[in-house]
Structure 1
Amino acid sequence: MISPRASLFVLSVLGSGVFSTKTTTFTQPAAAPTDTSTFYVGASNGSLPKTTTVPGLVFDRFVQIWLENTDYSDAAAQPAFQNLSKDGITLSGYYALTHPSEPNYIASAGGSFWGLASDDDVTIPANVSTVVDLLEAKGISWAEYEENMPTDGYLGDSFTNPDGYTYYMRKHSPLVSYDSVNQNSTRLARLRNFNDFAYDVGNNTLPQWFFVTPNMKDDGHDTGVAYASDWLNYWLVPLLQDPNFNSARTLILLTFDENSNYGINNEVYSILLGGAVPTNLKGTIDDTYYTHYSSLSTVQNNWGLDNLGQQDCNKTLANVFQFVADMTGYQNNGMKNGTGLPLTNITGTIPGPLNPTYPAPWPAPNTSCVGAGGGGYIGSK
């Protein structure tokens, strides 16, 4: 007999897209990643306005690029990742937070996934703060770039291209689920498409913090890590040589939302790239224990930001990227990759307001914690 928990596990795996048919031939959407394309569907609204750069302690721009559903060993076997690791710091102890995809995305923006164990459309109340609140409080520009999103601030669950393929999925947008973003027209307009990206990089108006979501093929979700590697060679590798994208003060996190094997802990291959990575650390491995919350704590540490009063304040789960911590004097918890780490492959049984099976009230933020930026809870201001 299959236990209820095992049944929930099987359903979660089936719902994750792990068993989807994989295709192997990458199709280049444009001549270069800096070009617009009719394939991207969404018309550009022009470039973002130029803004004053707010200097950070270690970097002035932070970029996240998320791929999908790949075990650490499978990514490590790809030449594209091996070559990129030669130019950056490989984070051998970086872990996703849960399964399936969407909870990881929303956690990276708001510091919790609130028990979510599905890819269903959810809305998170407007009084729940996100990284956007932290950035805007210090005048730091931000955006998302979503490949094949048809219009800026699109609120639909998905979008199917004229060729009949559904390339864009809302579940892979970290900020659209937050009412503080989706009910604010100014913020919503900063959820942009890849034609907008071409304008922004060409006009040197890319923001200081931005999140990149490739489409359902290019991120490997519907195809596999070899296809995603081909996309990286087309899109990211040339941009690393473009000073409008990668300046001497740019830090890039390339990672995955989750691994594909729910039966093992949720380690994902991750690399820190960009001009902000010290020359002597390129090609090295950092085995410090990190999770997706570390992107929040590192940004807070770099710009002296407040915190969200959520898991970004969790000293176990939110280590600052070590080379940044070394340069700012921040003390991490000393945890390294290996045995005895928290299990972050658990899905379905974590109570929260977004879990209809195990419901719980929206938790009050920790208003007394001091985050990696040295500030207090943003809502106390």
Structure 2
Amino acid sequence: MKMTARALLAAGTLLAHAAGPARAATAQVFSPPASSYDAESANYTGASNGTLQNGPVVPGKVFDRFVQIWFENTDFETAASSPTFQNLSQQGVLFTSYYAMTHPSEPNYIAVAGGDFFGNAVDDFRAIPMNISSIVDLLEQKNISWASYQESMPYDGFTGYNYTSFDYIAGSGDYTYYVRKHNPLIIFDSVSNVTDRALRIRNFNDFARDVNASAIPQWSFITPNLVNDGHDTDIDFVSQWIQFWLNPILADTRFNDNRTIILLTFDETETYSINNRIWTLALGGGLPAQLKNTTDDTFYTHYSCLSTVEANWGLGSLGRGDTNASLNNVFEFVANVTGWKNNGVSGSSPDIPLLNITGTIPGPLNPEYYVPFSAPNTSAVGAGGGPVFQGPGLNTALTAASQPAPVNLTAKGLDTPWAQNPGYDYPDGTQVYTSTPSPTGSASAGTRSWTRGEGRVAMVPALALLGLVVGPLLVL
């Protein structure tokens, strides 16, 4: 039976405003959040809304299912020193030159879903407008099923900044286990403002239901909660979660069959002063047997997750980082089958760019170096060979080459317009609007005017600085 939002919010505290500083890793003792990987639990908070309904399987060239599981804030060497991660590497191919895009966490999650982090350099509330595309647009063009599973998220489609629920580890009190910044698709209005899409962002109770019904979709993004992903803990705690949840499910063909690839990675390094190399492993029943317990030193990034999926299913592209030949190498075992030619950069090559730079990259999500959203490169050729997806109402005239000079909104006491909470949510499985204010206090930076129709939104620019309109106008 589905738990209502009122019951959920009575059991926990919804923090709609910006949270305080990130918790440091603590000496918490791992406690299983459920009785098994395929069991529902009150610690995942809301009850399942039922089994996911997917269409027929769309065959890929190398795999039919792609699952990403992300952990947090760990240097390559730290993960590589863990016996649990060493044991896992025997089951797959370890990417020894895989890099995150920047710091801190949130821009990396945005990048893997949208092909760009749009200058973001914080973990604050962000809501990317409707005409900016994501991997969901590409998947749905080919009728490929997808979902995101977020541990300890209160209910399907939850759009809040974070969620505090019962502290099941301590056995008393409350703990903030879920954060929006680790949920990449919810940040894109083109997903979260469309009910059918928003409800495909599910919690682990839904995951258990979907596994038991053999209904795991073809593309999935999985985020453990803040202790199980290592954000508030350490690599040993993550290892215990792997032993509880991941190791058993790897033997379950309802999740991991002979056409499944599972990618384990981290959002970023813990140490900001080094380049952003992170431990990343591809495994699963669909991995060629000869690649197990091997390494691949090809230069990959989070954009490679997009280009690899595009190559496998012959998709279109986003025309952003997924088509940037310096950053979009396709996983070699997929490139070899699809005919994609990688750029040849590998190992410790001096051609690997610095990917630990943060705070100074212009973009619409950076109030100190603000520029408006630009159109993707519509002439780009991606690894899937299809056309660049263009969102509805996209102004293709504003390109990266024609961007105006960045504006420092912070110096003017303003924030980016995309720091505002658009005010919709799905507490009972349908879209409702609230009067939630901007969580970062940036109401003066821009305004949004939202219609009640699903997925339809008019965004009206409210601020012009030095002749620069900061909010793009969407044509309905």
Q: How high is the TM-score relative to the length of structure 1?
A: 0.94
For residue 233 of structure 2, the aligned residue among 217, 223, 242 is 223
Compute the displacement of 1:18 (Å).
7.4
Asked whether the 8 Å contact 1:16–1:101 carries over to 2, the reply is: no
For residue 283 of structure 1, the aligned residue among 284, 293, 296 is 293
Match of 2:357 in 1: 346
Match of 1:325 in 2: 335
Query: Deviation digits for residues 24-45 of structure 1, max 9, x if unmatched?
Result: 4211111210010111111101
In structure 1, how many angstroms separate the alpha carbons of the residues matched to 2:23 and 2:175? Answer: 18
In structure 2, how many angstroms separate the alpha carbons of the residues matched to 1:16 and 1:283? Answer: 41
For residue 309 of structure 2, the aligned residue among 299, 307, 310 is 299
Distance 1:326 1:301, change over 3 A: same
| Amino acid aligned to 1:113 | F
Asked whether the 8 Å contact 1:265–1:345 carries over to 2, the reply is: yes
Asked whether the 8 Å contact 1:35–1:198 carries over to 2, the reply is: yes
Compute the displacement of 1:327 (Å).
1.6
Higher Cα Rg: structure 1 or 2?
2
Alignment of structure 1 residues 121-132 onto 2, 5 Å? 121-132=125-136
Compute the displacement of 1:379 (Å).
1.8
Compute the displacement of 1:244 (Å).
0.5
Q: How high is the TM-score relative to the length of structure 2?
A: 0.76
Match of 2:147 in 1: 143
Compute the displacement of 1:225 (Å).
1.1
Deviates more, 1:45-54 or 1:58-67: 45-54
Say which SS state the counterpart of residue 360 (structure 1) adopts: coil
Compute the displacement of 1:380 (Å).
8.5
In structure 1, how many angstroms separate the alpha carbons of the residues matched to 2:181 and 2:300? Answer: 23
Compute the displacement of 1:162 (Å).
2.5
Distance 1:327 1:137, change over 3 A: same
In structure 1, how many angstroms separate the alpha carbons of the residues matched to 2:218 and 2:27? Answer: 35
- The reply on whether 1:101 has 2:105 as its aligned counterpart is yes
Say which SS state the counterpart of residue 181 (structure 1) adopts: helix
For residue 356 of structure 1, the aligned residue among 367, 388, 398 is 367
For residue 27 of structure 1, the aligned residue among 26, 31, 40 is 31
For residue 62 of structure 1, the aligned residue among 63, 66, 71 is 66
Match of 2:87 in 1: 83
In structure 1, how many angstroms separate the alpha carbons of the residues matched to 2:391 and 2:248? Answer: 43
In structure 2, how many angstroms separate the alpha carbons of the residues matched to 1:43 and 1:196? Answer: 8
In structure 2, how many angstroms separate the alpha carbons of the residues matched to 1:54 and 1:284? Answer: 29
Asked whether the 8 Å contact 2:25–2:231 carries over to 1, the reply is: no
Compute the displacement of 1:21 (Å).
3.7
Deviates more, 1:186-195 or 1:360-369: 360-369
Asked whether the 8 Å contact 2:109–2:267 carries over to 1, the reply is: yes
In structure 2, how many angstroms separate the alpha carbons of the residues matched to 1:19 and 1:192? Answer: 25
RMSD: 1.4
Query: Structure 2 stretches of 5 or more lacking a match?
Result: 1-18, 168-173, 393-476
| Amino acid aligned to 1:74 | T
In structure 2, how many angstroms separate the alpha carbons of the residues matched to 1:87 and 1:95? Answer: 21
| Amino acid aligned to 2:302 | H
Asked whether the 8 Å contact 1:306–1:373 carries over to 2, the reply is: yes
Deviates more, 1:103-112 or 1:356-365: 356-365
| Amino acid aligned to 1:327 | V
Compute the displacement of 1:339 (Å).
3.7
Distance 1:18 1:178, change over 3 A: closer
Match of 1:258 in 2: 268
| Amino acid aligned to 1:23 | A
In structure 2, how many angstroms separate the alpha carbons of the residues matched to 1:161 and 1:295? Answer: 32
Query: Deviation digits for residues 4-36 of structure 1, max 9, x if unmatched?
Result: xxxxxxxxxxx9977714224211111210010
| Amino acid aligned to 2:189 | D
In structure 2, how many angstroms separate the alpha carbons of the residues matched to 1:17 and 1:370? Answer: 41
Distance 1:252 1:299, change over 3 A: same
Asked whether the 8 Å contact 1:147–1:193 carries over to 2, the reply is: yes
Match of 2:53 in 1: 49
| Amino acid aligned to 2:87 | N
| Amino acid aligned to 2:388 | Y
Compute the displacement of 1:51 (Å).
2.2
Query: Deviation digits for residues 47-68 of structure 1, max 9, x if unmatched?
Result: 1124200000000000000000
In structure 1, how many angstroms separate the alpha carbons of the residues matched to 2:309 and 2:139? Answer: 9
Runs (4+) of structure 1 exceeding 2 A deviation are: 15-19
Compute the displacement of 1:363 (Å).
1.6
Distance 1:21 1:252, change over 3 A: closer
Asked whether the 8 Å contact 1:248–1:274 carries over to 2, the reply is: yes
Match of 1:372 in 2: 383
In structure 2, how many angstroms separate the alpha carbons of the residues matched to 1:188 and 1:351? Answer: 29
Matched positions, count: 367
| Amino acid aligned to 2:353 | P
Compute the displacement of 1:330 (Å).
1.3
| Amino acid aligned to 1:368 | S
| Amino acid aligned to 2:379 | S
In structure 2, how many angstroms separate the alpha carbons of the residues matched to 1:330 and 1:346? Answer: 29
Asked whether the 8 Å contact 1:256–1:268 carries over to 2, the reply is: yes
Asked whether the 8 Å contact 2:364–2:372 carries over to 1, the reply is: yes
Identity across matched positions, percent: 55
In structure 2, how many angstroms separate the alpha carbons of the residues matched to 1:50 and 1:102? Answer: 29
